[in-house]
């Protein structure tokens, strides 16, 4: 029997452990809903934008871009779910499929084009196709040697999924050998298309360029990662100007759907340099992965500040990230949410930063862009705040129309 109440409690405890700090925002209550008071956060300093906090009618955890006007999330029963909007301030959380209803570890990967939602537990991957309600519990490996990474949808049309593992610490200590383990799984036909040898391999499949071609890392001695293009069907390795430049720069950072990379516009955001002095750059290329250009983004921020991973909206016109290096109460290091307009009228195709009011705590993959029926394109975030001694969950919306208004000033 599924213990929904226990699962809900575990999920809430996990979420509280990474609860957002709300600091330095002026608040004004505007409208009362059945779930509580809607709050308008007005900017507390010039050049910043405020936000709207909508009380959550039901528990949700993690946000990802989904179909037009909706977000994917996990509900309080640990099921794949959808957030949809009604009117100015209403929204609902509705299960997409009655699955997986088990404890998960904070990963949610979605592919709106293929109706796929993926999460994972300790060693299990949970995959759902939400239209036909097809579900799969998948544990391709149960070995202490391997740690599962974030899965990727390799081919949306054919529902083919890439699962990559890293060697565990104890396995990494083998001299001169830093193996990886890769599996390519066909959900439609419940079939493994590719599997690494038993002891792993030196190629780490990373991010799909096409359904066959993958940006990969070839693991070498001394923990040096060499970027390559790898065709998993033919086993061919390709080197081009882009991979050469990534290797020379020592580029590092996650890549995902709408996350640090835009294949259609041919650019990516990445960190370069030594670990204690990382710099954010924008890298561009042409249709042949040649004419690679590296654009430093240092001019956007003072030297003592830095940018985290960058989310890109589905229309490729907006970016959101966190800027680090700000000090809160008692000198605690905090972060600020920051937005950019991606427009060729701006130098290097990226506007000057527009900040949200208040200080925050960075958390990977926390928010997502969504088209709201009234407010237009927004960046949605998950917020917890104290109300009468109790923790209250909100969906916070930052309107891109506010960001554009500040840019136009």
Structure-token pair, residue 212: 């066959």
The residues facing 137 across adjacent strands are 126
Res 222: pLDDT = 60
Res 265: pLDDT = 95
If you ran DSSP here, which 8-state letter would residue 34 be given?
T
Work out whether strand 125-129 and strand 267-272 pair parallel, antiparallel, or are unpaired: unpaired
The reported pTM is 0.90
Mean pLDDT by 10 residues, the chain (409 residues): 43 41 48 77 90 96 96 97 96 98 92 95 93 95 88 94 88 71 96 93 92 89 80 94 95 90 96 83 97 95 88 96 89 92 94 92 87 97 86 96 95
Q: Are 272 and 292 in contact (CB under 8 A)?
A: no
Give me the DSSP letters along 45-72: STTEE-EEEEE-SS-EEEEEE-STTEEE
Res 330: pLDDT = 82
State how far Cα 125 lies from the chain centre: 18
Q: In sequence order, which residues have a C-beta less than 8 Å from that of residue 405 and are 6 or more positions away?
A: none
The residues facing 215 across adjacent strands are 207, 229
The two most distant CA atoms of the chain are separated, in Å, by: 63
Cα separations (Å) of 93 from 58, 86, 166, 386? 6, 12, 34, 22
Whole-angstrom distance, CA of residue 119 vs CA of residue 104: 7
Give me the DSSP letters along 151-167: -EEEETTTTEEEEEEEE
Whole-angstrom distance, CA of residue 284 vs CA of residue 293: 5
Whole-angstrom distance, CA of residue 129 vs CA of residue 289: 34
Res 375: pLDDT = 97
Structure-token pair, residue 225: 């990662």
Closest CA to 107 of 91, 93, 126, 90: 126
Res 1: pLDDT = 46
Alpha helices in 160-296, H assignment, sequence order? 169-172, 241-249
Res 388: pLDDT = 74
């Amino acid at each position: 029997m599924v213990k929904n109440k226990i699962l809900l409690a575990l999920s809430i405890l996990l979420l509280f452990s990474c609860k957002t700090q709300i600091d330095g925002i002026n608040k004004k209550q505007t409208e009362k809903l059945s779930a509580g008071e809607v709050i308008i956060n007005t900017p507390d300093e010039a050049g910043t934008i405020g936000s709207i906090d909508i009380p959550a009618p039901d528990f949700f955890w993690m946000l990802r871009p989904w179909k037009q006007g909706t977000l994917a999330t996990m509900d309080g029963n640990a099921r794949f779910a959808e957030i949809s909007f009604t009117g100015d301030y209403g929204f609902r959380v509705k299960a997409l499929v009655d699955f997986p209803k088990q404890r998960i570890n904070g990963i949610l990967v979605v592919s709106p084009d293929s109706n796929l939602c993926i999460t994972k537990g300790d060693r299990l991957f949970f995959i759902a196709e939400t239209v036909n309600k097809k579900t799969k519990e998948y544990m391709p490996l149960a070995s202490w040697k391997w740690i599962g990474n974030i899965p990727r949808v390799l081919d949306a049309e054919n529902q083919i999924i890439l699962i990559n593992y890293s060697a565990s610490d104890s396995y990494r200590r083998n001299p001169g050998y830093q193996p990886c383990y890769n599996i390519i799984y066909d959900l439609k036909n419940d079939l493994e298309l590719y599997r690494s040898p038993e002891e792993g391999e030196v190629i780490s499949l990373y991010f799909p360029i096409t359904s066959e071609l993958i940006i990969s890392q070839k693991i070498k001695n001394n923990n040096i990662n060499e970027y390559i293009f790898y065709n998993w069907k033919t086993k061919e390795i390709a080197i081009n100007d882009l991979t050469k430049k990534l290797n020379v720069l020592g580029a590092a950072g996650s890549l995902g759907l709408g996350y640090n990379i835009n294949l259609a516009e041919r650019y990516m955001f990445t960190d370069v340099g030594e670990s204690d002095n990382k710099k954010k750059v924008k890298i561009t290329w042409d249709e042949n992965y040649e004419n690679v250009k590296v654009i430093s983004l240092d001019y956007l921020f003072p030297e003592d500040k830095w940018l985290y991973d960058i989310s890109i909206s589905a229309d490729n016109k907006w970016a959101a990230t966190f800027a680090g290096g700000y000090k809160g109460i008692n000198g605690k290091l905090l972060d600020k949410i920051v937005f950019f307009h991606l427009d060729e009228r701006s130098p290097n195709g990226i506007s000057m930063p527009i900040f949200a009011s208040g200080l925050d705590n960075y958390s990977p993959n926390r928010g997502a862009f969504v088209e709201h029926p009234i407010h237009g394109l927004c960046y949605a975030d998950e917020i917890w705040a104290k109300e009468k001694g109790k923790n209250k969950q909100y969906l916070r919306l930052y309107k891109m129309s506010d960001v554009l208004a500040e840019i136009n000033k």
